[in-house]
Amino acid sequence: MLAIINGKCILPDEQGDFTIQTGKVVLCEGERIKGIVSESEAAAMAIEKTIDAKGGYVSPGFLNVHIHGCDGMDTMDDEEMALPRMSRLQAKTGVTGFLPTTMTCAWDDVAKAFAHIRHYQQQPPAGARILGAHMEGPFISPAKKGAQAECNIRPADFELVEPWQDVVRIITLAPEELSDYRFVELCEEAGITVSIGHTAADYETVMEAVTKHGVHHITHLYNAMTPFHHRNPGVVGAALDSTANCEIIADNVHSHPAAQRLLYHAKGGKNIVLITDSLRACGVGDGPSELGGQKVFVKGELATLEDGTIAGSVATMNRCIKLFWENTGAPLAKVIEMATKTPAVELNLYEELGSLETGKRADLVIFDEEVNIKHTIIGGKQFC
């Protein structure tokens, strides 16, 4: 049995809200959490191995539901080592489960990416677990394509998705491009979350999708969507005025610190999902890179296409947590929910992961006050 000692544990209270608790020991046996006990109880147990948190935070492992790449690799790479390399770097940044995210590319290339994801879902994890795929496009708006290739945009068609419904967990689309909501209904029946993004929709269209058709996810809020205006609230206004879960890239490039605070206060600290939306350049450094066949140039925290369009980020999840925590002044336990519990609940995985509770997967992370990752444990196995 493995025991994590001397940590400030981030645990759910009786209402399910995360709180920071001291004097607790997390016990792991095999791939599961055996229990959360007091230090005195742990002292009377037969412990085979201990990890000393040294006063650091002990948290559920982070979940990253929107990531294109890192460590020089991309989800769209038709290469055996792409996903394992991404998985290993994600683990080093505290992520224990993620959704490799596809681009608006030729459909054959998207299907190849799904095949790789399906294969590695069934293998022992090389690092962070692959939980499925986030399909960003090609059912999006040409007017808000962002860094997506317009030539590959097409109408929503569930026949394309159906062979991969065991892989796809989230689909980002533009609701105004739908002829009706049958596609959304089919996704719901298949257990796939539909997300609104890369969209030129108005406020009314988004509110209809959320309140009448069960769409409850917004892709990278503020980016590639109609902005807020006091007479035309747009997608941003609908996102802030509804209970939809809002992704946010808290890298201070894709969203200003004030925009992060507005989101936090408008949503009352709920229905927020921290993501990285990172590129293959994440973890590599400055210089030229690539996204969906397009040239990308990276300098510091900024990644752009040749025309200056902001592409994905080069941020890591622990960096986004630190920045959102600093920018909003939110309690750390609340911020951790945004990278653990909230995405797990939305993906219907909360019975298995997303919190430190008896019987759940032993997926956890230990970090310091700067959110530097000290240890990542996945399925009871220490990866870093």
Would you please indicate which residues are annotated as catalytic (active-site) residues? 277
Residue 325's H or E segment, with its range, is: helix 317-328
3-state secondary structure of 84: helix
CB atoms within 10 A of CB 304: 16
CB atoms within 10 A of CB 207: 19
Buried b (16+ CB within 10 A) or exposed e, 115-136: ebbeebbeeebbbbbbbbbbbb
Question: Angle 180-186-190 (CA atoms, 0-180°, nearest 5)?
Answer: 155
What is the distance between the alpha carbons of residues 158 and 138, in angstroms, rounded to a whole number? Answer: 12
User: What residue ranges in 219-330 does DSSP mark as E strands?
Assistant: 245-249, 272-275, 287-291, 294-299, 302-305
What tokens appear for 54 in the block? 């040294």
Residue 18's H or E segment, with its range, is: strand 18-21
The terminus-to-terminus CA distance of the chain in angstroms comes to: 18
Nearest to 294 by CA among 311, 315, 316: 311
Q: What is the DSSP string of 259-270?
A: HHHHHHHHTTT-
Cα dihedral 335/340/342/345 (nearest 10): -160
Residue showing tokens 């210089």: 287
CB atoms within 10 A of CB 350: 18
What is the distance between the alpha carbons of residues 289 and 305, in angstroms, rounded to a whole number? Answer: 10
What is the distance between the alpha carbons of residues 24 and 11, in angstroms, rounded to a whole number? Answer: 10
Residue showing tokens 């600093």: 326
Residue 278 and residue 313 in contact, taking contact as beta carbons nearer than 8 Å? yes
What is the distance between the alpha carbons of residues 128 and 87, in angstroms, rounded to a whole number? Answer: 5
Whether the CA torsion 153, 158, 162, 168 is positive or negative: it is positive
